[in-house]
Structure 1
Amino acid sequence: MLLTITDVEYLGDYTLLCTFNDGIRKKVDLSPLLQYPAFKELQDKTQFIQFGLQDTIFWANGADIAPEYLYENGIPA
């Protein structure tokens, strides 16, 4: 089965609650990614919270995150 994100909620700081197509929900802290160039401008929380969802999470600057990363690095919610 191809892993996708079906719902996402902003929890505060740089943490998202992701619901996956297998029904599992995980809290994911994305702050460790903010050191990388593609995510650097998302340190501005007003930009960070402006994410979109289309099978995975993406931002206007072109940054996106593989659902597998979120699944593996999240903690059960």
Structure 2
Amino acid sequence: MSTMPEFSLRVAFVDGATGEVDMRNFLSGPQTTGTVFEPLRDPSVFAQVGVVMGTVQWANGADLAPDAMYDAIKAHGRWIVE
């Protein structure tokens, strides 16, 4: 997994599926204000992403649903988090 410009991630799964996770709209929207995702608006915090037990996760506890990510990437090559 690697970060890409503008709040996106490039991910790869053990079965070889690869794709992009686009979090731009999600992070810029009002729904993240006051949540664990709000600090991710800072590019330096967003860049601290890692994989913990198969889940994309940040140090503050924010994480992404691996099943939803996988399904969207298998179907479309990209998951746009809303």
Q: TM-score range by the shorter chain?
A: 0.7 to 0.9
Q: For residue 26 of structure 1, what is the amino acid of its counterpart?
A: G
2:62 aligned with 1:63, yes or no? Answer: yes
TM-score (normalizing by structure 2): 0.72
Aligned to 1:5: none
Q: What are the Cα deviations for residues 9-64 of structure 1, in whole angstroms up to 9, with x where unaligned?
A: 11111110110122100111012332321211100111000111121111111101
Residue 42 of structure 1, aligned match among 40, 43, 67: 40
Counterparts of 2:37 and 2:17, CA distance in 1: 25
Aligned to 1:76: 77
Stretch moving more, 14-23 or 32-41 = 32-41
| Paired residues for 1:22-33 under 5 Å | 22-33=15-26
Contact 1:57 1:65 survives alignment (8 Å): yes
2:27 aligned with 1:15, yes or no? Answer: no
Contact 1:28 1:73 survives alignment (8 Å): no
Q: For residue 10 of structure 1, what is the amino acid of its counterpart?
A: T
Q: Which one has a larger percent strand, Structure 1 or Structure 2?
A: 1
TM-score (normalizing by structure 1): 0.76
Q: For residue 56 of structure 2, what is the amino acid of its counterpart?
A: I
Unaligned runs of 5+ in 1: 1-7
Unaligned runs of 5+ in 2: none
Q: Report how many residues are paired.
A: 70
